[in-house]
Amino acid sequence: MHSGYWLIATILIPLVAAAVLVFVPDNRKDVVRVLSAAVGAALFAISTYVFFAYEVDQGGGYQFFKRIDWLHDVAFLGPHGISLTFGIDGIAAPMVLLTGVVAFGGALISWKIEHHNKDFFILFWVLVSGVYGTFESLDLFFFFFWYEVAVLPMYLLIAVWGSSSVFETFARTKEYSAMKLTIMLVAASILIFIGIFAVFNEAGQGTFDLQTLYAYQFDENFQKLVFPLFLIGCGVLAGLWPFHTWSPDGHVSAPTAVSMLHAGVLMKLGAFGIIRLGIQLLPAGATFWMPGLMVLATCNVVYGAFAATAQRDFKYMIGYSSVSHMGLVLMGLATMNVIGVNGAVLQMFAHGVMTALFFAMVGSVYDQAHTRDMRLFGGLVNKMPLFVFFFGVAGLASLGLPGLAGFVAEFNIFVGTFRTYPWAGALGIFAAMMTAVYILRMWTWTFFGTFNERWVDLKEMTYLERGTAVLLLGAMLWMGLWPAPFIDRIQESVRLLPGVT
């Protein structure tokens, strides 16, 4: 058994960093940068350690377990009423690793932020601690606590450091997108809130401890009633169609690192919530409602792919492709069979690193060009070969090229889906084909063709951007070429999920 303090460290380090940053003077931007890079590196190191230290042959249960009582034996709360309970299973382990990779990359990418970079990093680290907390919590109260911590800095992060854009027929101000995103996500958490109240009340155990609640047999009708609350509440954050609309707008307006973190990890919290609060807590409800999720997820996959094809803005295209790819995650979950759910968790990791890389690359060119209209570029390969390489590989992962992360994940999901809902699998394959269309079209528009003289001043990526890209690409290649460490961990725990066959 490993010490749960490793998990606590992943939550506490960013929080402490945020607290320390409050006291750094406004004009010491260098201190902020170095400190944040160091925190990012530390988190990356701990996350990697945690991932590898998770013992595969222990049957897939929770490891790194640690409980600290927080609020107990008072009013309606019994012993361990609300406790800081941490632990990860094989599903959470890759998510922790993903968070470490993306947070480190985000911290490096944000090195160049000039405007109040101190405030930016305070909010950034609060966000990161919330993400870790959600993945690692085994207490219903704290699961939601951290979930909300991850959402709360978003408004300011987008509204202050984001960018407004004017398109031909409409405009998106950063304030609008920030508000839309915040209100939609918080409004979705209404459902989770109500679900939690109902679950606690129904169980009557006087505790929010998830393992105790998992052991409780909820009435089947109650499960059918409450499961949709968790499904939709968490689904909104996962970009579930038709509640996905905050996501593309949010990404378009968000600063690079926030887009990376948001598409990379935050949306995964939604899918993770469906596993933890939905499948594990209310298995009968899950079994009953999963066909419905399959329909919505198929809409996600197909609609997202078509919408992405229609975009001319880099970030809108990636935003909608995220909707499509998160749809694959939801599809995998909806299969309720081991291989499908396996694929869903793999896809969570794969999509996390590849969209993070996407957004990092877009940021690299946007910061110089101040436009994201793909048609305005052309022949960038002559000017920025490295950029084209990294962006291109991310694209290949996105369209599911074997050898890269996306392939392993999508393969599992489609196998799972064909076993349960062949029609959805067929539509999913079709959407994956559409991915190739919009990715390759982006290549022809921006990377190749005749060089547009307007961009003669564009410079190659900075060293920090290259570092980030190498990090993310490394994760992608690793999962593509040697997925065994992932599959071993995930599979063991997925088998334990109730109702998953």
Partner 1 sequence: MNELNFDYTLFIPEFILAGVVVLVMALDLFVPQMRKSWLSYVAALGLAATACVSLAWVDDQTNFARIIAIDNFTTYFRVFFMAIGAVVCLASGKLVEDKLRHPGEYYALIILSTIGAIGMAASRELMTAYLSLELLSFSLYILVSYAKFDRRSNEAGLKYLLLGAFASAMFLYGMSLIYGVTGSTYYPDISAALAEGTASYSWALLMGMVLIIAGLGFKVAAVPFHMWTPDAYEGAPIAITAYLSTTSKAAGFVLLLRLFSGAFQVVHDDWSWMIAGIAAATMILGNLVALQQHNIKRLMAYSSIGQVGYMLMGIAGLSHDTASALVLHLTGYMVSNMAIFVVIIAWYNMTGKEEIEDFRGMRERAPLLAGVLAGALFSLAGLPLFAGFVTKFILFQAVTDAGYLWLAAIGVVTSVVSLYYYLQVMKQAFVSAPAEGEGALSVPLLMNGMAALLMVGVFYVGLYPQQLFEMIDHATSYLFV
270 token code pair:
């939604």
For residue 94, whether the previous peptide bond is cis, meaning omega lies within 30 degrees of 0, is: no
Q: How far is the CB of 110 from partner 1 (least distance, A)?
A: 18
Q: Which is nearer to partner 1, 198 or 376 (CB)?
A: 198
Q: Which is nearer to partner 1, 207 or 287 (CB)?
A: 207
Closest C-alpha among 484, 359, 377, 492 to residue 441: 377
Could you say whether residue 6 binds partner 1 (CB under 8 A)?
no
Could you say whether residue 42 binds partner 1 (CB under 8 A)?
no
Q: Which helix (H) or strand (E) holds 399?
A: none
Closest C-alpha among 187, 189, 163 to residue 176: 163
Which letter does DSSP use for residue 450 in this model? S
Could you say whether residue 447 binds partner 1 (CB under 8 A)?
no
**CA-based end-to-end distance of the chain:** 28
405 token code pair:
């992360």
Q: Which is nearer to partner 1, 198 or 429 (CB)?
A: 198
Q: Which is nearer to partner 1, 148 or 367 (CB)?
A: 148
Size of residue set near partner 1 by CB under 8 A: 37
Q: Are 156 and 175 in contact (CB under 8 A)?
A: no
Q: Return the residue of 186, 426, 436, 496 that touches partner 1, per CB under 8 A.
A: 186
Could you say whether residue 155 binds partner 1 (CB under 8 A)?
yes
Q: Return the residue of 1, 27, 75, 242 that touches partner 1, per CB under 8 A.
A: 75
Q: Which is nearer to partner 1, 46 or 158 (CB)?
A: 158
Could you say whether residue 56 binds partner 1 (CB under 8 A)?
no
Binding-residue pattern over the window 350 to 389 for partner 1, x denoting contact by CB under 8 A: ----------------------------------------
Q: How far is the CB of 116 from partner 1 (least distance, A)?
A: 7
Site for partner 1 in 87-116 (CB under 8 A): 116
Q: Beta strands 82-88 and 63-71: pairing type?
A: antiparallel
Interface region with partner 1, contact rule CB under 8 A, candidates 141-149, 214-222, 374-382, 455-463: 141-149
Interface region with partner 1, contact rule CB under 8 A, candidates 151-159, 369-377, 379-387, 466-474: 151-159
Q: How far are the Cα atoms of 137, 164, 192, 234, 296 from residue 228, in angstroms, in the given order?
A: 22, 35, 10, 10, 13
Q: Beta strands 171-172 and 63-71: pairing type?
A: unpaired
429 token code pair:
């394959």
Reduce the DSSP state of residue 198 to 3 states and report it. Answer: helix
For residue 248, whether the previous peptide bond is cis, meaning omega lies within 30 degrees of 0, is: no
Q: Return the residue of 3, 5, 26, 58 that touches partner 1, per CB under 8 A.
A: 26
Q: Are 38 and 107 in contact (CB under 8 A)?
A: no
Q: How far is the CB of 82 from partner 1 (least distance, A)?
A: 8
Could you say whether residue 197 binds partner 1 (CB under 8 A)?
yes
Q: Which helix (H) or strand (E) holds 272?
A: helix 267-273
Q: Return the residue of 42, 198, 381, 458 that touches partner 1, per CB under 8 A.
A: 198
Site for partner 1 in 216-275 (CB under 8 A): none
- Please calculate the CA angle 163-384-367 and round it to the nearest 5 degrees: 15
Q: Are 130 and 41 in contact (CB under 8 A)?
A: no
Interface region with partner 1, contact rule CB under 8 A, candidates 37-45, 177-185, 240-248, 476-484: 177-185
Site residues (vs partner 1, CB under 8 A)? 22, 26, 69-76, 116, 119, 126, 141, 145-146, 148-149, 152, 155-156, 159-160, 175, 179, 182-183, 186-187, 190, 193-194, 196-198, 200-201
